[in-house]
Amino acid sequence: MPDALSALSLTLPAGQLAALVGPNGCGKSTLLKAIMGFVPVRSGSIMLEGISVQRLGRRRMSRLVAYMPQDVICPEYATVGDIVEMAAYGRHGFFGGPDGIDRGRFREALDAMGLRAHAGTAMSILSGGQRQRAWIAMALAQDSSIILLDEPVNHLDMKYQYAVLGLLGTLARDRGKTILLVLHDLNLAAAFADRLVMMKEGGIVTVGAVHRVMTADVIRSVYGVNADVFERNGRWVCLPAVQDSVVLPSCSARPEGRARGRTGL
């Protein structure tokens, strides 16, 4: 495992949407990068459909896995359509053009993200939420059997948070895809995921169905927060208790060593 991760074991079956949850810095993004082969695995192995990641070439890997990192750098001149068409590079190479099947997938992905009318719009002038939807559309257009998304609903309003997560759940269950995504909102994860993967300090604390993972004891142990967990309208809800105020240093405090009195003018 990478240095940021401790020994862990995780099996993700096809046809399920799994949400990777846990505090900041616990290794969620690092785990996705390790699955992609972007960080070295010093011990153990990562298998995708029975094949070690180390044995998969970049072309085969891109066909098998669609990955959207947390922060994506985009050329200023690129349009939404350009970004989505990048999904074809994994199948045809950088200089190969998309075929008719690819273009059909592009249209479906743009429609799913509500971006068909913006296909010719430069990414640089879109809102943060629209850019995020464009990157998700690219991942969907890749039509891979495994989809890894790092905070996909970041920057999205409530409507598109629910639309995107609902679509991903449908893709997993109806098309047999394996989907693993990082989420910070436990209630969103509980509402849409088939299983939760709870992490802390580089390791996996527990994995399983929502009602088995999202318990008051687990939340207290992992987040250090007291919370009520209950079922409402068929969904599990986490309601954190109001915490005592945290005392922060005064902003007006004078740094040590700064001269008093004279301003030097």
pLDDT, residue 260, reads: 45
Which residues share a beta bridge with 18?
180, 195
Q: How far apart are CA 60 and CA 53, in angstroms?
A: 10
Q: How far apart are CA 228 and CA 16, in angstroms?
A: 27
pLDDT, residue 263, reads: 36
pLDDT tens digits in sequence order for the chain, 265 residues long? 555 566 677 888 899 999 999 999 999 999 999 888 888 777 777 888 777 887 877 777 878 899 999 888 887 789 999 999 888 776 655 556 666 777 888 999 999 999 999 999 999 999 999 999 999 999 999 889 999 999 999 989 999 999 999 999 999 999 999 999 999 999 999 999 999 999 999 899 999 999 999 999 999 999 999 999 999 998 999 999 876 555 566 655 555 444 444 433 3
Q: Which helix (H) or strand (E) holds 65?
A: strand 65-68
Q: How far apart are CA 234 and CA 132, in angstroms?
A: 29
pLDDT, residue 168, reads: 94
- What are the helix (H) ranges across the chain? 28-36, 58-64, 80-85, 89-92, 100-112, 128-141, 158-175, 186-192, 210-213, 216-223
Q: How far apart are CA 65 and CA 102, in angstroms?
A: 16
Q: How far apart are CA 70 and CA 117, in angstroms?
A: 25
pTM to 2 decimals?
Answer: 0.84
pLDDT, residue 96, reads: 60
DSSP at 86 = G
Question: Does residue 238 contact residue 187 with C-beta atoms inside 8 Å?
Answer: yes
Assign 60 to helix, strand or coil: helix
> For the domain 16-210, what is the CATH code?
3.40.50.300
Question: Does residue 194 contact residue 17 with C-beta atoms inside 8 Å?
Answer: yes
Q: How far apart are CA 174 and CA 97, in angstroms?
A: 29
Q: How far apart are CA 189 and CA 194, in angstroms?
A: 9
